[in-house]
C-alpha cells in the first residue's frame, strides 16, 4: 500500500515542516495521497519533527479507516476528506506557525486585506479561508474545513484559535504555501507602516501565475 519511496517522502516532508518552524512539538499533522484508494496520515500523538516509519497510518480514502492498525491523528477526518474531494491535491499539512497562529487568535477577518503584502500571497496562496472554532478532532470542525477546500481557490485555511491548513500538488508546494503564509502574517502583524499590494497588483500577479 505504501512504497519505501513514498514512506521516505512522507517522513522527509514531516521533518521539513518542523525544520521550517511550522510546528510546536506534537502540534500539526500530515497526509499524502498514495493511490486512488489510499492515503497516508501521520499517527495519533506523533511529533512530525521526529516522525518514524511506524508512525504512518494507511487509510482508506472513502471510509477514513486505518488499514495497517496504526491509529491516525484525531484530525485525520479532514485530511482524508480534502484528499477525497480535491483530486488536484496530493498533500495536506496542518500546521501551527507562530505569527499565523497569533492571527488565528485575533479576529482574522480584520487582517485579510493586510495579508496581501508581498507577491507570494497572490502568486501562491490567494484568498485564505477562515474556519470558525470547533473542538479539535470533531466532525463539526472537519466538515467546516472540508467545505472551505471544496472550492478550487482555497489553498490555506485559518482555523480560529487553533492553527492552519495548507494543501499542495506535492510536498514542496504545501510547505512553501505554509512558509510564505507565515511570512505574510508576520508582516501583517508587525509592520508599523504597512502598505498592501493594490487589488490590481494582486490580480496582475495571480494572472501571471496562471499563464
Q: Which residues bind Zn ion (CB under 5 A)?
A: 136
Q: Please state the closest distance from residue 53 (CB atom) to Zn ion, in A.
A: 23
Q: What are phi and psi of 135, to 5 degrees?
A: -55, 130
Q: Please state the closest distance from residue 162 (CB atom) to Zn ion, in A.
A: 6
**By C-beta, is 2 or 131 nearer to Zn ion?**
131
Cell digits for 54?
511506524
**By C-beta, is 49 or 136 nearer to Zn ion?**
136
Instruction: Output the CA torsion 169→170→176→182 (10° steps).
Output: 70
CA of residue 12 relative to chain centroid, distance:
16
**By C-beta, is 89 or 159 nearer to Zn ion?**
159
CA angle, corner 190, sides to 188 and 192, nearest 5? 100
Q: What is the CA radius of gyration of the chain?
A: 17
**By C-beta, is 89 or 104 nearer to Zn ion?**
104
Please state, in angstroms and rounded to a whole number, the distance separating the CA atoms of residues 179 and 32.
Answer: 18
Q: Please state the closest distance from residue 195 (CB atom) to Zn ion, in A.
A: 33
Q: Please state the closest distance from residue 97 (CB atom) to Zn ion, in A.
A: 13
Q: Give the residue closest to Zn ion by C-beta.
A: 136
The candidate with the shortest Cα–Cα distance to 162, out of 179, 142, 186, is: 142
Amino acid at each position: 500500500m505504501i512504497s519505501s519511496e513514498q514512506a521516505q517522502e512522507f517522513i522527509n516532508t514531516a521533518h521539513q515542516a518542523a525544520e521550517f518552524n511550522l510546528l510546536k512539538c506534537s502540534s500539526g499533522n500530515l497526509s499524502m495521497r498514495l493511490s486512488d484508494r489510499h492515503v497516508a496520515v501521520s499517527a495519533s500523538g506523533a511529533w512530525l519533527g521526529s516522525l518514524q516509519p511506524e508512525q504512518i497510518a494507511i487509510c482508506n480514502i472513502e471510509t477514513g479507516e486505518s488499514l495497517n492498525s496504526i491509529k491516525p491523528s484525531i484530525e485525520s477526518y479532514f485530511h482524508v476528506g480534502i484528499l477525497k474531494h480535491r483530486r488536484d491535491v496530493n498533500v495536506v499539512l496542518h500546521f501551527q506557525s507562530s505569527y499565523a497562529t497569533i492571527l488565528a487568535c485575533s479576529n482574522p477577518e480584520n487582517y485579510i486585506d493586510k495579508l496581501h503584502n508581498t507577491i507570494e500571497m497572490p502568486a501562491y496562496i490567494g484568498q485564505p479561508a477562515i474556519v470558525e472554532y470547533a473542538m479539535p478532532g470533531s466532525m463539526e470542525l472537519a466538515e467546516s474545513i472540508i467545505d472551505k477546500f471544496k472550492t478550487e481557490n482555497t489553498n490555506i485555511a485559518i482555523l480560529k484559535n487553533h492553527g492552519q491548513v495548507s494543501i499542495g500538488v506535492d510536498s514542496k508546494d504545501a510547505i512553501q504555501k505554509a512558509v510564505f503564509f507565515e511570512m505574510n502574517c508576520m508582516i501583517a502583524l508587525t509592520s508599523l507602516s504597512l502598505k498592501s499590494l493594490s487589488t490590481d497588483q494582486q490580480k496582475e500577479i495571480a494572472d501571471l501565475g496562471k499563464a
